[in-house]
Amino acid sequence: MKDFLVGLAKKLKKNTTAYENYHRIYVPEGHPLKGDPKEALRVNVLFEHIQNMLSGDTAVIAETGDSWFNCQKLKLPKGCGYEFQMQYGSIGWSVGATLGYAQAATGKRVIACIGDGSFQVTAQDVSTMIRCGQKTIIFLINNGGYTIEVEIHDGPYNVIKNWNYTGFVDAIHNGEGKCWTSKVFCEEELVKAIETATGDKKDCLCFIEVIVHKDDTSKELLEWGSRVSAANSRPPNPQ
């Protein structure tokens, strides 16, 4: 987008005013502002901490939805794996993909970013992850619905039944195998959970439920959703 706007401004007969307008509306990339103590966790803050977790010994699985748009902005270290599926718009695929990837890539610790709506489609695969002794870190982003669908066409059908996700995984665990869960509401709790997942519980499947506001979404999804909405609402092609 930045390159497009620069090019457009320069093509307008070197219109100085147009180029100045570009600089006035362009918002450069930056880091999330530091929140107040115990402030509700924001999605961009979550992904800044995920960025710091990445190395050549990790792999990222990004579920379809805002997780994908946020993971696209991560800077992957050399050797860090990355898998996503956006072409078909399928949801729920990442839970099974996380299971398969972790089983095959034994030298990497998988970090999966999964929305709550997507997770509900194939949640039972966590059982096999525990049975196989996998050490994946799952960030379950709980925002109460199908956020990607909200940005395309909102309605009551995008609100889902909220689960106690950590309780669900604890029930699957049932004391057999290595599994650790945590529910976080603010940055301080997130930092502590990540320290535990990468420290004392590094040999466990770690499931971190992250509670965020239902309208907290990336600017990329907002733009993409509006474009898809416009395309879907066009009249039929007479051909």
**32-232: what CATH class?**
alpha beta
> Helices (H) and strands (E) in the chain — how many of each?
11, 6
- As annotated, the residues of the chain forming the CATH 3.40.50.970 domain(s) are 32-232
Beta bridge partners of residue 115, listed in sequence order: 141
Location of structure tokens 């992904």: 47
Q: Which pTM value belongs to this model?
A: 0.82
The token duo for 135 is 């050490």
Buried b (16+ CB within 10 A) or exposed e, 128-158: ebbeeebbbbbbbbbbbbbbbbbbbeeeeeb
Give the DSSP letter string of 136-190: -EEEEEE-SB-HHHHTTS--GGGB-----HHHHHHHHHTTSS-EEEEEE-BHHHH
The token duo for 46 is 């979550």
The token duo for 110 is 């998988």
Which helix (H) or strand (E) element contains residue 49?
A: helix 43-53
**3 state DSSP class of 81:** strand
Buried b (16+ CB within 10 A) or exposed e, 70-84: bbeebebeeebbebb
Burial of 50 (0-12, 13-18, 19+ CB in 10 A): buried
Tell me the pLDDT of the chain (239 aa) as tens digits. 666 656 655 655 554 554 454 444 444 566 666 767 888 999 999 999 999 999 999 999 999 888 988 898 999 999 999 998 876 778 889 999 999 999 999 999 999 999 999 999 999 999 999 999 999 999 999 999 888 888 888 888 888 999 999 999 999 999 999 999 999 999 999 999 999 999 999 999 999 999 999 888 888 888 888 888 888 877 766 65
The whole-number pLDDT of residue 25 equals 46
Contact 94, 64 (CB under 8 A): yes
The whole-number pLDDT of residue 26 equals 47
Contact 73, 95 (CB under 8 A): no
